[in-house]
Structure 1
Amino acid sequence: MFQIKTFNAIAPEGLQRLEKEKYAINESDQPQGILLRSQKLHDYAFPESVLGIARAGAGTNNIPVKACTEKGIVVFNTPGANANAVKELVIASLLLSVRPILRGAQWVQTLSGDNVEEQAEAQKSQFAGTELEGKKLGIIGLGSIGAMVANDAYRLGMEVVGYDPYVSVDTAWTISRRVKRANDIAEVFSTCDFITVHVPLMENTHHLVGEAELAKMKPTTKLFNFSRKEIVDTDAVLRALKADRLAGYTTDFADEQLLHNEKVLVLPHLGASTEEAEVNCAKMAARTLKKFLEFGTIKRSVNFPTVEMAFHSPYRLTIINRNVPNMLGQISSIIAESGINIDNMLNRGREDFAYTLADVASEDEALLNQLADKLRENENIVRVRVIKNQEVGY
């Protein structure tokens, strides 16, 4: 029985993926898995039992990823599960940036009398706007969300240019051939009428849009940030807006500095706030954690490599180790010295750590547990698990 701890309200459709015969939810203070949304875990004392954490969402800034990696805790997210929700909000914000729809709707509510229709017709010119068709949209980051925004913006008649030096092959296939690929990020900053940013927050993306980048933009450009607050330098944006070097800024991250500015639209972090997105994220998070706990499979991890291998042997060893020379040789030797045959083996590294799946022919669980203890004696091995194949016949 796997023990799972949840933080926040996880959609029932996700929890239903964890069968009651195999999983207990919030019944122990020694969980093997954690499911959460936005709860901050930086001050959380992780029990030794925790093997994996799955966040029902894309960002993992609320999780101490580096510390988890050192402990051999695999952190997962759900990229793409909320992509459509964010995409729709970005498209809506693009429309709101050129048509004063909100101001117009609020103004109509102030009217009174028998001739409301005539009053509205007579004064509607104060809410005239412009159109998106024919304008140039620059998209920085062509992941799941950026790719969707690119395709829909093109269908609205916009000229779309995207920049992402790391776009995946799978995502590239989904992007319309009519979306132009920028050779460098400066092309996006200097040529576009609208710029929207869709990149994860990392050391090299902190303040990706700052003073220098804003200086490259046309004074009529409007900027959108639905990624993370820290991607854009708020102080630099305010200076650019005040000096009329930037026409507008829309963000999904509330900041007191940005309030009560007619050139700024601030939303209360609504990007993934749809019923569908919450369900999709919960399902993906539960499914990912389930496969990891039951089979040792790693997919959609932010701190360990993707490692998947068919499981046909009686038992499987999963090994997290520091990515130093000859570790695979040492692991193989220790297994061989125990008199156990390896049926299949897969090893992948990611930065300072590596992950190994080793399927073995032995059905002697006591012997395998002794082997696991022997592996743990190696100072560069962080965590070892012994997983029994639950398929019929073992």
Structure 2
Amino acid sequence: MRYVKVLDNISTTITKDGIAELGEGYQRCDELGQADALLVRASDTRALELGPSLRCVARSGAGVNNIDVEGCARRGIVVFNSPGGNSNAVKELVVGMILTNSRQTLAGMRWVREHGGEPDIVRLAEASKKDFVGREALGRKAGVVGLGAVGSKVANALVQLGLDVYGYDPYLSVEHAWQLDRAVKRVDSMDRLCEGADYVTLHVPSKEDTVRMMGERALSLMAEGGMLVNYARADIVDEDAVDAALRGGRLARFVCDFATPKTCQMPNTLITPHMGACTGEAEESCAAMAVREMKDYLEQGTIRNSVNYPSCDMGPCRTGGRIAALHANVPNMIGQITAALAASRANIQRMSNEAAGAHAYTLVDTDEPLGEETRSRLRGIPGVYRIRVIRPS
């Protein structure tokens, strides 16, 4: 029996706690110290005391700011996220915001609400519509920063609406490159993307090279009266620079998903309460992905969509036994692992080793199950964080 601790209701539809999709052999537990896996959505796990039995943390969603990713890696705990599971939900909201706020739709609706009690409302509305003249998005330049799961969908949707779309992503994957509409013009710098842009929408994670990337210079290159949209992470924008651009007229509108003390005081700013992925479909999709990743890892040792270990997939184990080694990415680690197996006369049938930064992962299929003496020898290798035994399917 494998035990799963669930910190949040990760899905509002079919699988209320995510356990239903795991099937037999899994049981929800209340004590974190008993858990083999932790399933989380929004709860902050960084201060939690993780038990020695915990093997993985699965996040229903893309961001992992609520998880100590590096600390988990050094303990041999794999952290998964659910990239792309909510991408359509975010895309629809971003595109809707661009169109709605180009036309001053919300301002017009507020006016009607405020004057709805006037007996002459029909005549007043007709006379006041000139105060809400907007502009059409057709043919205007849109810059999409980040062309991953969300950004690629946003770029394609804007192309289909007739905008002139530019994309910037120095780390664009082959998978997402294939998904891009050929009309999206890829550029090699933020300057080229922002120059003359009527709209800039951000879709990158918060990292050292993206924090405050949308600052004074980038904003100064946009077309006067442009719109900035941020449904990625709050700290990607330099809030002081955005505030100044709004007050100076360079930006006509800032639309974001992050209610910070600063953004709430900015003029011409529309803020949603971090609801970019808040649809039943997105919650269900992310929950299903997180559960599937967790299950594949616990049962087969397969890693997909981890943020602290490399991807590795050898399929189901069809031999006598499989071990998974989570270890530091250092020279001669594979030599030490194979030497330890050779000393036990274990016959290796298949082997895979992958690395990601400071950490690495090795899967080994052997003819026969490995005894405790061999496992202890493997655990004793300097730099090995954890040795897992995976039973044949």
Q: Same fold (TM over 0.5)?
A: yes
Q: Which amino acid aligns with 1:83?
A: S
Counterpart residue number, 1:330: 336
3-state SS of 2:21 partner = coil
Counterpart residue number, 1:204: 209
**Partner Cα separation in structure 2 for residue 165 and residue 331 of structure 1:** 36
Q: Kindly indicate whether the alpha-carbon contact (under 8 Å) linking 2:149 and 2:176 is maintained by their aligned counterparts in 1.
A: yes
Q: Kindly indicate whether the alpha-carbon contact (under 8 Å) linking 2:297 and 2:303 is maintained by their aligned counterparts in 1.
A: yes
Residue 28 and residue 111 in structure 1: after superposition, are their counterparts in 2 closer, same or farther (change >3 A)? Answer: closer
**Partner Cα separation in structure 2 for residue 132 and residue 66 of structure 1:** 43
Q: Kindly indicate whether the alpha-carbon contact (under 8 Å) linking 2:155 and 2:184 is maintained by their aligned counterparts in 1.
A: yes
Counterpart residue number, 1:308: 313
User: What percentage of residue pairs aligned between the two structures are identical?
Assistant: 40
**Pair 1:116-2:138 in alignment:** no
Alpha-carbon offset, residue 156 of structure 1:
0.9
**Pair 1:385-2:388 in alignment:** yes
Q: 2:230 aligned to 200, 225, 228, which one?
A: 225
3-state SS of 1:362 partner = coil
Within a 5 Å distance, the mapping from 1:247-258 to structure 2 comes to 247-258=252-263
Within a 5 Å distance, the mapping from 1:131-142 to structure 2 comes to 131-142=136-147
Counterpart residue number, 2:371: 368
**Partner Cα separation in structure 2 for residue 318 and residue 202 of structure 1:** 30
3-state SS of 1:63 partner = coil
**Pair 1:41-2:50 in alignment:** no
Alpha-carbon offset, residue 114 of structure 1:
5.1
Q: Kindly indicate whether the alpha-carbon contact (under 8 Å) linking 1:3 and 1:28 is maintained by their aligned counterparts in 2.
A: no
**Pair 1:194-2:199 in alignment:** yes
Deviation above 6 Å: which 4+ runs of structure 1?
none
Q: How many residues align?
A: 386
**Pair 1:239-2:210 in alignment:** no
Unaligned 5+ runs, structure 2: none
Unaligned 5+ runs, structure 1: none
Alpha-carbon offset, residue 103 of structure 1:
1.8
Q: Which amino acid aligns with 2:6?
A: T
Q: Kindly indicate whether the alpha-carbon contact (under 8 Å) linking 1:368 and 1:386 is maintained by their aligned counterparts in 2.
A: no
**Pair 1:160-2:138 in alignment:** no
**Partner Cα separation in structure 2 for residue 105 and residue 214 of structure 1:** 29
Q: Kindly indicate whether the alpha-carbon contact (under 8 Å) linking 2:144 and 2:200 is maintained by their aligned counterparts in 1.
A: yes
Alpha-carbon offset, residue 307 of structure 1:
0.4
Q: Which amino acid aligns with 2:200?
A: I
Q: 1:355 aligned to 357, 361, 370, which one?
A: 361
Counterpart residue number, 1:298: 303
Alpha-carbon offset, residue 83 of structure 1:
0.1
**Partner Cα separation in structure 1 for residue 76 and residue 181 of structure 2:** 40
Q: 2:349 aligned to 339, 343, 356, which one?
A: 343
**Partner Cα separation in structure 2 for residue 143 and residue 347 of structure 1:** 26
**Partner Cα separation in structure 1 for residue 143 and residue 120 of structure 2:** 44
Counterpart residue number, 1:269: 274
**Pair 1:150-2:148 in alignment:** no
TM-score normalised according to structure 2 size: 0.95
Q: Which amino acid aligns with 2:26?
A: Y
3-state SS of 1:39 partner = coil
Q: Which amino acid aligns with 1:299?
A: R
**Partner Cα separation in structure 2 for residue 245 and residue 126 of structure 1:** 20
3-state SS of 2:371 partner = helix
Q: Kindly indicate whether the alpha-carbon contact (under 8 Å) linking 1:318 and 1:384 is maintained by their aligned counterparts in 2.
A: yes
Quick check: 307-316 or 135-144, which moved more? 307-316
Alpha-carbon offset, residue 10 of structure 1:
2.0
Q: Kindly indicate whether the alpha-carbon contact (under 8 Å) linking 2:247 and 2:267 is maintained by their aligned counterparts in 1.
A: no
Quick check: 2-11 or 237-246, which moved more? 237-246
Q: 1:22 aligned to 20, 25, 30, which one?
A: 25
3-state SS of 1:191 partner = coil
Counterpart residue number, 1:129: 134
**Partner Cα separation in structure 2 for residue 210 and residue 360 of structure 1:** 54
Q: Kindly indicate whether the alpha-carbon contact (under 8 Å) linking 1:15 and 1:283 is maintained by their aligned counterparts in 2.
A: no
Alpha-carbon offset, residue 214 of structure 1:
2.2
Q: Which amino acid aligns with 1:86?
A: V
3-state SS of 1:47 partner = coil
3-state SS of 1:93 partner = helix
Alpha-carbon offset, residue 371 of structure 1:
1.3
In angstroms, what is the RMSD of aligned CA positions? 1.4
Alpha-carbon offset, residue 212 of structure 1:
2.8
Counterpart residue number, 1:96: 100
Q: Kindly indicate whether the alpha-carbon contact (under 8 Å) linking 1:6 and 1:36 is maintained by their aligned counterparts in 2.
A: yes
3-state SS of 2:210 partner = coil
Counterpart residue number, 2:81: 77
Q: Kindly indicate whether the alpha-carbon contact (under 8 Å) linking 2:190 and 2:218 is maintained by their aligned counterparts in 1.
A: no
**Partner Cα separation in structure 1 for residue 355 and residue 308 of structure 2:** 10
Alpha-carbon offset, residue 350 of structure 1:
0.9
Q: Kindly indicate whether the alpha-carbon contact (under 8 Å) linking 1:15 and 1:282 is maintained by their aligned counterparts in 2.
A: no
Q: Kindly indicate whether the alpha-carbon contact (under 8 Å) linking 2:85 and 2:282 is maintained by their aligned counterparts in 1.
A: yes
Alpha-carbon offset, residue 329 of structure 1:
0.9
Q: Kindly indicate whether the alpha-carbon contact (under 8 Å) linking 1:296 and 1:318 is maintained by their aligned counterparts in 2.
A: yes
Alpha-carbon offset, residue 207 of structure 1:
1.1
Alpha-carbon offset, residue 113 of structure 1:
5.0
Alpha-carbon offset, residue 145 of structure 1:
0.5
Query: Alpha-carbon deviations, 1:78-109, whole Å to 9, x = none?
Result: 00000000001100110122111112122212
